[in-house]
């Protein structure tokens, strides 16, 4: 089966890659999203739910920075240097996944008090919620494009070529 490097990363080294590259960040991001709803609905920006939200936000942001640094050095740069990409669908899937570092990093910076310091708690939580929404968008773009057969967007001769040439995103 032809698959994007995104899907290949999750499929190899089972169950570890799925756990490290999907389950951990998604569980933490979903924890942020669910607690965010409670916090915005109640406007109760202190207490145990906020501590869970803040801790999950910091951990997922820092964790994802590590994932991005690892994947860029171990997969993206070698794939680019060798011409190993499987078309634009493959690049969109991987790029959208890596782009998740922007909103998740923003959440960590916000929760660490490094940005939006002068704003009130509700304003900071509004920014927080917008960053959660941005992450959900890029994560879903990555998943949708990652599940596509990358040969759908290739010329017929390229689509029939061996699908696993070049470098792999798999560690």
Contact criterion met (CB below 8 Å) for 29 and 139: yes
Domain boundaries of the chain, sorted by first residue = 5-158
DSSP class of residue 165 equals -
Q: What is the pTM of this model?
A: 0.88
Contact criterion met (CB below 8 Å) for 131 and 28: no
Question: CA-CA distance, 129 to 127, in Å (whole number)?
Answer: 5
Q: Is the pLDDT reported for residue 9 higher than 90? A: yes
Structure confidence by residue, pLDDT tens digits, 85-123: 999 999 999 999 999 999 999 999 999 999 999 999 999
pLDDT bin (cut points 50, 70, 90) of residue 84 is: very high
68: enclosing H helix or E strand: helix 48-71
* Residue 10: both structure tokens together: 């999750």
Question: CA-CA distance, 126 to 120, in Å (whole number)?
Answer: 10
């Amino acid at each position: 089966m032809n698959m994007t490097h995104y899907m290949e990363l999750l499929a190899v080294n089972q169950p570890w890659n799925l756990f490290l590259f999907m389950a951990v960040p998604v569980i933490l991001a979903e924890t942020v999203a669910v607690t965010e709803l409670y916090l915005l609905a109640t406007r109760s920006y202190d207490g145990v739910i906020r501590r869970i939200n803040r801790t999950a936000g910091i951990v997922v942001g820092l964790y994802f920075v590590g994932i991005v640094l690892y994947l860029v050095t171990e997969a993206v740069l070698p794939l680019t240097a060798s011409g190993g990409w499987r078309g634009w669908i493959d690049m969109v899937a991987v790029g959208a996944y890596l782009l998740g570092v922007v909103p998740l990093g923003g959440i960590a910076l916000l929760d660490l008090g490094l940005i939006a310091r002068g704003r009130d708690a509700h304003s900071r939580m509004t920014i927080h919620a917008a960053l959660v929404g941005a992450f959900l968008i890029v994560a879903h773009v990555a998943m949708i494009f990652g599940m596509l057969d990358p040969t759908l967007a290739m010329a017929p001769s390229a689509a029939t070529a061996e699908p696993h040439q070049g470098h792999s995103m798999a560690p």
